Amino acid sequence: MDKGLASRCKELLQFLSSTKGDLANVTGPPSMLAPLSVVEVGRCWAQRPAVFAAPALEPDAGRRCLLVLRMVLIALRTQMYVGGSPTTSIKKPLNAFLGELFLAEWTDEKVHGADSTSSSSSSSSFCSSRSSLSSQGTPHGQEPPALSRSTTISSSSTASSSASCACGADRITTRLIAEQVSHHPPITAMHIADDVHGVRADGYARVEMTFSGIVQVRQVGHAVVRVDAYDEEYLIPLPDIKVRGFLSGRLYPEITDTYHIAGSNGYAAEIKFSGQGMAWGGTRNAFVATVYGPRSLDESKDASNARPAKKSAKSNNGREALYTIDGVWSKGWTVRDARTNAVVETYNVDAPENAPAPIVLPDTATQDPWESRRAWAGVLDGLGKGNMSQTVAEKSKIEQAQRRMRAQEAAAGEVWTPLFFKSDGHNGSEVFHRLAAGVPGGGSPNLQLYDDRTKGVWRVDDDKIKNIQRPFRGGLTPLGEQA
**pLDDT for the residue 426:** 64
**pLDDT for the residue 244:** 86
What percent of the chain stands above pLDDT 70? 73
Tens digits of residue pLDDT in 100-120 = 999 999 999 865 543 333 333
Domain presence at residue 34: yes
Domain presence at residue 480: no
Asked if 220 and 454 touch (Cβ cutoff 8 Å), the reply is yes
**pLDDT for the residue 161:** 31
Give the confidence band of 6 by pLDDT, cuts at 50, 70, 90. Answer: low
Dump the DSSP string for 374-424: HHTHHHHHHHHHT-HHHHHHHHHHHHHHHHHHHHHHHHHT-----SSEEE-
Cα–Cα distance, 104 to 173 (Å, whole number): 10
Which residue segment(s) compose the domain that 342 sits in? 3-360
Give the confidence band of 313 by pLDDT, cuts at 50, 70, 90. Answer: very low
Tens digits of residue pLDDT in 411-458 = 999 999 999 999 987 667 889 999 998 887 655 666 788 899 999 999
Domain presence at residue 415: no
Domain count, the chain: 1
DSSP H or E stretch at residue 207: strand 199-211
Q: What pTM value is reported for the model?
A: 0.83
Domain presence at residue 437: no
Arithmetic mean of pLDDT, 124-145: 31
Asked if 42 and 178 touch (Cβ cutoff 8 Å), the reply is yes
Tens digits of residue pLDDT in 364-419 = 999 999 999 999 999 999 999 999 999 999 999 999 999 999 999 999 999 999 99
Domain presence at residue 450: no
97 DSSP assignment: P
The CATH number linked to 113 is 2.40.160.120
Domain presence at residue 375: no
176: nearest Cα among 56, 71, 49, 43: 43
Domain presence at residue 188: yes
Arithmetic mean of pLDDT, 6-30: 58
**pLDDT for the residue 10:** 57
Cβ-based burial of 21 (10 A; exposed 0-12, middle 13-18, buried ≥19):
exposed
Give the confidence band of 315 by pLDDT, cuts at 50, 70, 90. Answer: low
* 218-256 per-residue burial string, b: 16 or more CB within 10 A, e: under 16: bbbbbbbbbbebbebbbbbbbbbbbbbbbeebbbbbbbb
Question: What type of residue sits at position 469?
Answer: Q
Domain presence at residue 258: yes
